[in-house]
Structure 1
Amino acid sequence: MALNPLPKALFFDVFGTCVDWRKTVTETLIDAASAVGDNTMTPTDWASFAQAWRTSYLTFTRALAADPSIPYRTVDEHHLASLQTLLDQHNLSTLWPQHIVHDLSLIWHRLAPWPDAASGLDQLNSLGIQTATLTNGNLALINDLAAFGKLPFTHVLSAEMFSSYKPNPAVYLGAAEKLGLKPEECGMVAAHLGDLEAAQKCGFRTVYVERKDEERDEGLRGKEGLVDVWVREGEEGFVEVARRLGA
């Protein structure tokens, strides 16, 4: 399948799709522990810690997306509280002073992009397609992340703008409205089929960019008609998306 006619805007999931959160978070935690001479956790332990931190974020955002009565908190607020909880659970609550823990909670502002992300976005922009983030990360976080990774999005949008989180339809529909577009004029780009499924239900077209270890809903791989453009792992990610759309 293909995107024909071309969408007027492509909205991008960020964590895992645009940036390699796993590598950056794990390496930063390892370095921070080494800096204070702690070797109680192995690199594998810290990788598991990073995954638990990420999983807590997914649980948090999905719960709020499903239940609007839950008080809204930003992802930055969640990341700090979750990090403190995980440190307690691993008997590491005294490993770093509080100001270091706070700085570590902001790792997510400094994630390394996938190698194809910046150049692929630049090529998509050259086609006249608007490129916008559509992420659960709060605006301050995503603006920092885009600047850090030199990611040339034409717009930075966040679920924070709609006081909810993906996969709430209000996020996808609100994003299209922000750009003055109909849902069918928009495409969603993600490394997670669940995100694409929710966007498609709102009328978006879908672009699946596989990233290493990112898929959480393996059962959706065989769902017919879910993916309009499918870029396999190793096919240059966003560069390949631009190529298929005519760059």
Structure 2
Amino acid sequence: MSISPLPKVLFFDVFGTVVEWRSCVTRALMRAAERALLDSEKQLSVDVRVRAGAMTLEDWQAIAKEWRASYGRFTASFEPSSAFVSVDEHHYTYIQTLLQQRGLDGMLTDEERWDLALCWHRLEPWSDTVEGLKLLNHQFRTCTLSNGNVALLEDLQNYGSLPFTDVASAEHFGAYKPSSQVYHGAAKRFGLEPSECGMVAAHLYDLKAAKALGFMTIYIERPQEENLSAERIAEARQEGFVDQWVGLGCGGLVEVAKRFGIPAETNS
């Protein structure tokens, strides 16, 4: 089924929608701890060594999950009238809090914490992301619209060979989604009305905010990203703020291109 009328630009949420963060961030946490424990010159207390050595895969996964959740709380509570604080800065600050909570304070130097915080710049695309974006580029300009700061998004684009035609960040607009300032700013950046824009995301709050301003909306269900119950799915469908719903395992961004009438063989 094709989608009409067609938007002129498709904007994309990035974390969880375009790239996968759980396994990537968990691996980065584990590697940072392993390097710290193997560093013979690092003066770690016995307690920190014992605690770090006893951490399981599930423990590190829990830290990754809480780190991600803290990002959501940070962006949701940010006041646009305040001095802008980047997501990179938040990630750096909050990983120290998480390590302290688990008795791992002192395991990493300041430089090592910054390097760990930058693991969010090195996330892997979902398997359909690159192909799907290439297909969509035949018909649209494709642009990030993420709460991630500009440098973060540019690094993700380079690291994952993400073929976006443009990069836009909440940083450009001095606010964070779901502030209307971000969506209006993105449309204006391209000289468009919101009705000429599409928003693609794996998060209902993002699409609900975009739809309220006139964006066309496409939901991409991703593994573990929202874990919606059948009741919540039915509720969201009834509310009507999602124009197209791409379910789990249905092809992701490649399916989005198909629904716009772009055949997969276009990339061949």
For residue 25 of structure 2, what is the aligned residue in structure 1?
25
Q: Given that residues 193 and 220 in structure 1 are in contact (C-alpha distance below 8 angstroms), is that contact kept between their aligned partners in structure 2?
A: no
- What SS does the corresponding residue of 1:175 show, helix, strand or coil? helix
Cα shift at 1:3: 2.8
Cα shift at 1:204: 0.3
For residue 163 of structure 1, what is the aligned residue in structure 2?
174
Q: Given that residues 20 and 126 in structure 2 are in contact (C-alpha distance below 8 angstroms), is that contact kept between their aligned partners in structure 1?
A: yes
- Compute the TM-score of the two structures, normalised by the length of structure 1: 0.94
- Compute the TM-score of the two structures, normalised by the length of structure 2: 0.87
- Whichever residue aligns with residue 12 of structure 2, its letter is F
Q: Distance in 2 between matches of 1:3 and 1:69?
A: 38
Cα shift at 1:70: 3.8
Q: Given the alignment, which residue of 38, 44, 49 partners 2:63?
A: 49
Residue 197 in structure 1 maps to residue 208 in structure 2: yes
Q: Given the alignment, which residue of 211, 228, 233 partners 2:243?
A: 228
- What SS does the corresponding residue of 1:141 show, helix, strand or coil? helix
Q: Distance in 1 between matches of 2:188 and 2:2?
A: 24
Cα shift at 1:71: 3.3
Equivalent positions of 1:85-234 (< 5 A) are: 85-127=97-139, 129-215=140-226, 220-221=232-233, 222-223=235-236, 224=238, 225-234=240-249
Q: Distance in 1 between matches of 2:210 and 2:102?
A: 37
- Whichever residue aligns with residue 223 of structure 2, its letter is K
Task: List alignment gaps of at least 5 residues for structure 2.
Answer: 38-51, 263-268
Cα shift at 1:98: 2.2
Q: Distance in 2 between matches of 1:177 and 1:36?
A: 47
The superposition leaves residues 56-80 of structure 1 with CA deviations (integer Å, 9 ceiling, x where unpaired) of 110000001xx33443201111010
Q: Distance in 2 between matches of 1:68 and 1:20?
A: 28
Identity %: 51
Count of residue correspondences: 244
Q: Distance in 2 between matches of 1:182 and 1:220?
A: 30
- Whichever residue aligns with residue 105 of structure 1, its letter is A
- Whichever residue aligns with residue 14 of structure 1, its letter is V
Cα shift at 1:96: 2.1
Equivalent positions of 1:68-83 (< 5 A) are: 68-83=80-95
Task: List alignment gaps of at least 5 residues for structure 1.
Answer: none
Q: Distance in 1 between matches of 2:77 and 2:227?
A: 17
The superposition leaves residues 103-159 of structure 1 with CA deviations (integer Å, 9 ceiling, x where unpaired) of 0010011111111111100000012x1100000000010000011000011110000
Q: Distance in 2 between matches of 1:154 and 1:216?
A: 30
Task: State which drifts further: 25-34 or 209-218.
Answer: 209-218
CA RMSD of aligned residues (A): 1.5
- What SS does the corresponding residue of 1:10 show, helix, strand or coil? strand
Task: State which drifts further: 35-44 or 161-170.
Answer: 35-44
- Whichever residue aligns with residue 164 of structure 2, its letter is F
Q: Distance in 1 between matches of 2:142 and 2:106?
A: 43
- Whichever residue aligns with residue 220 of structure 2, its letter is V
Relative distance call for 1:185 and 1:69 in structure 2 (3 A) is closer
For residue 11 of structure 1, what is the aligned residue in structure 2?
11
Higher-Rg structure is 2
- Whichever residue aligns with residue 159 of structure 1, its letter is A
- Whichever residue aligns with residue 226 of structure 1, its letter is F
Cα shift at 1:34: 2.4
- Whichever residue aligns with residue 251 of structure 2, its letter is E
Q: Given that residues 110 and 144 in structure 1 are in contact (C-alpha distance below 8 angstroms), is that contact kept between their aligned partners in structure 2?
A: yes
For residue 74 of structure 2, what is the aligned residue in structure 1?
60
Relative distance call for 1:107 and 1:93 in structure 2 (3 A) is same
Task: State which drifts further: 5-14 or 207-216.
Answer: 207-216
Q: Distance in 2 between matches of 1:155 and 1:206?
A: 19
Cα shift at 1:52: 0.7
Relative distance call for 1:217 and 1:165 in structure 2 (3 A) is farther
